[in-house]
Structure 1
Amino acid sequence: MSWRIVVISKRAKLEYKMNYLVVRDTEMLRIHLSEIHTLIIESTAVSLTAMLVAQLQERKINIIFCDNHRNPLSNVLPLYGCHNATEKVKSQIAWKREIKDQVWTRIIYEKITNQANVLKQTRPDLAEKLTGYASSITAGDRTNREAHAAKVYFNALFGNEFSRHKDSPINAALNYGYTILLSAINREIVINGYLTQLGIFHDNAFNQFNLSSDLIEPLRSLIDKEVVSWGSFEEFTSNQKMRLVDVMNCQVNMADKRMQFVNALGIYCRSVLESLSEQNLDLIQCMEYE
């Protein structure tokens, strides 16, 4: 199934009519709700009806509201993701440390491997170094191969002066892309009946999305690859934001099949959650992307 990421970037009125999202501005546009994965309200001049919000939530459609700088501000998700959510949450609370360490090790292996793949064309020497980090990960990544790989990786992409802690157009772009991706993962966790707050490795008392922050790790390089393809830039523009949103429409490989990223994302998230609850690492399915 193909999914659409719908972005409303200017003044408009949104309403629901007979299973359609109706967008009214200078013209009228109708989009069937069955086609929508995520609705991004980028402009604060947009108004929408409560009926539309209710219908979007009933269909588990992700809604992102942006602030007056057009950056993601909130992520609206339904209270009840599936019929046996209580059972799923009980199993989540009971996840054993051993399986969490095993799953986290696999996640970090996939993350560093994907980072190495991004560097293969431009810095094959450093790609090989990251591959070495991936092969030497210990249980639960207690030797912190993830951090060592990240330093090498980001310096190779954006220069030795780059830091993820600086206020810069590059970081603004990365943060925007990661937030869009995180919101899609939040949706997958909720519709599968689990809590985003209870993570595998991340355990910040002030982070509502600890589990999402775990699952996003192997996928960040999709955003990194897009941002680095722009070369040097002094301003993070609206067109660049739309290019990051469009990353959600890219094609990836999973289980010997070519599919849209958002479809593969659902399979990936569900497989990790099932592996934790079933205590079976073999259930995990990861995607491959060029």
Structure 2
Amino acid sequence: MSWRVVVIENQAKLDYKMGYLVVRGIETKRILVDEMAVLLIENPAVSVTGILMEELTAKKVKVIFCDSKRNPVAELSPHHGCHDSSAKIRTQITWEQGAKDAVWRDIVSEKIRKQADFLREIGRGAQATLLSEYVGQVELADASNREGHAAKVYFNALFGMDFTRSADTAINAALNYGYSIILSAFNREISANGYLTQLGIFHNNMFNHYNLGSDLMEPFRVLVDRKVYEMNPTEFDKDEKHAVWTLLDQRILLDG
């Protein structure tokens, strides 16, 4: 079972040998590929061999590349996620609009419900109650935009009435970084299960290669919100980015 998140910070050469990722830098280290879920290459000076890329693709390891500022800029997406991907893609292309509208209604409802739960936990009862009312008002395809109304109440309750998502702040940088990490995790699973990330349920931007991931991740954004709320960063640099990465290392308890 893959679970390990591997972050390459410094200049190195990455190679593959006998089931292991071999990191040749100041020191040489080996990591079992079968244990890897995500490989994050933070340094643009890192070189990667073709045989390693082939093996990481075969093992469905999500590979994320960062720019010189250590921000994610690209990821490796396999052309063939599983043995019956052709059949799944044909089905995906024919998803009916009515079904997609209903699924998007449920996704938005669950997102707002999780936001309300979080606000209630941190003592924002009045705002949580308002969001709970929004849950019952979500229409097919969220035609009345309850998601947008909830977002304004939610973020103002978390970070103050002056907070806006468009501002150039450390909090927004942390949120955006965390959301990109969650999106990459969803894209990995979508590709691994044989579907196209480009064909979404609600998101349909022709320039977005990850429309379906953008849809399915929505209720999970609250995981990032919780982390950033706890951190309350005044700057967003390497240490803060690594703190956000711990989201993918948490141990989760399900039904005991």
Shorter-normalised TM-score: what interval?
over 0.9
Q: For 1:138-166, what per-residue CA distance to the aligned partner results, in whole angstroms no more than 9, with x for missing partners?
A: 22211111111100001111111111112
> How far, CA to CA, are the matches of 1:58 and 1:205 in structure 2?
28
Q: For 1:167-196, what per-residue CA distance to the aligned partner results, in whole angstroms no more than 9, with x for missing partners?
A: 221111111111111111111111111111
> How far, CA to CA, are the matches of 2:250 and 2:144 in structure 1?
34
> How far, CA to CA, are the matches of 1:80 and 1:246 in structure 2?
29
Does 1:170 pair with 2:171? yes
TM norm structure 2 = 0.95
SS at 2:252 equivalent: strand
> How far, CA to CA, are the matches of 1:219 and 1:252 in structure 2?
14
Does 1:30 pair with 2:24? no
Cα offset, 1:199, TM superposition: 0.8
Partner of 2:242: 242
Does 1:92 pair with 2:102? no
Aligned ranges 1:6-85 → 2 under 5 Å: 6-85=6-85
Tell me: CA distance 1:127–1:150, structure 2 relative to 1, closer, same or farther (3 Å). same
Deviates further, 63-72 or 161-170:
161-170
Equivalent residue pairs, number: 255
Does 1:252 pair with 2:252? yes
Mapped contact 1:40–1:64 kept (Cα < 8 A): yes
Amino acid aligned to 2:189: E
TM norm structure 1 = 0.85
> How far, CA to CA, are the matches of 1:155 and 1:134 in structure 2?
18
Amino acid aligned to 1:53: M
Tell me: CA distance 1:33–1:164, structure 2 relative to 1, closer, same or farther (3 Å). same
Mapped contact 2:60–2:192 kept (Cα < 8 A): yes
For structure 1, the residue ranges without an aligned partner over 5 or more in a row are: 258-290
| Identity %, equivalent residues | 50
SS at 1:151 equivalent: helix
> How far, CA to CA, are the matches of 1:237 and 1:24 in structure 2?
25
SS at 1:65 equivalent: strand
Mapped contact 2:177–2:241 kept (Cα < 8 A): yes
Cα offset, 1:43, TM superposition: 0.8
Large movers: runs of 4+ above 6 Å: none
> How far, CA to CA, are the matches of 1:2 and 1:77 in structure 2?
17
Mapped contact 1:88–1:193 kept (Cα < 8 A): yes
> How far, CA to CA, are the matches of 1:2 and 1:83 in structure 2?
19
SS at 1:251 equivalent: coil
For structure 2, the residue ranges without an aligned partner over 5 or more in a row are: none
Tell me: CA distance 1:108–1:44, structure 2 relative to 1, closer, same or farther (3 Å). same
> How far, CA to CA, are the matches of 2:54 and 2:251 in structure 1?
31
Cα offset, 1:2, TM superposition: 5.6
Q: For 1:47-76, what per-residue CA distance to the aligned partner results, in whole angstroms no more than 9, with x for missing partners?
A: 221111111011111000000011001010
> How far, CA to CA, are the matches of 1:140 and 1:73 in structure 2?
30
Partner of 1:159: 160
> How far, CA to CA, are the matches of 2:117 and 2:207 in structure 1?
33
> How far, CA to CA, are the matches of 2:129 and 2:240 in structure 1?
30
> How far, CA to CA, are the matches of 2:234 and 2:247 in structure 1?
21
Does 1:219 pair with 2:215? no
SS at 2:176 equivalent: helix
Does 1:192 pair with 2:193? yes
SS at 1:55 equivalent: helix
> How far, CA to CA, are the matches of 1:161 and 1:253 in structure 2?
36
Q: For 1:186-231, what per-residue CA distance to the aligned partner results, in whole angstroms no more than 9, with x for missing partners?
A: 1111111111111111111221111111011001110011011122
SS at 2:231 equivalent: coil
Mapped contact 2:2–2:34 kept (Cα < 8 A): no
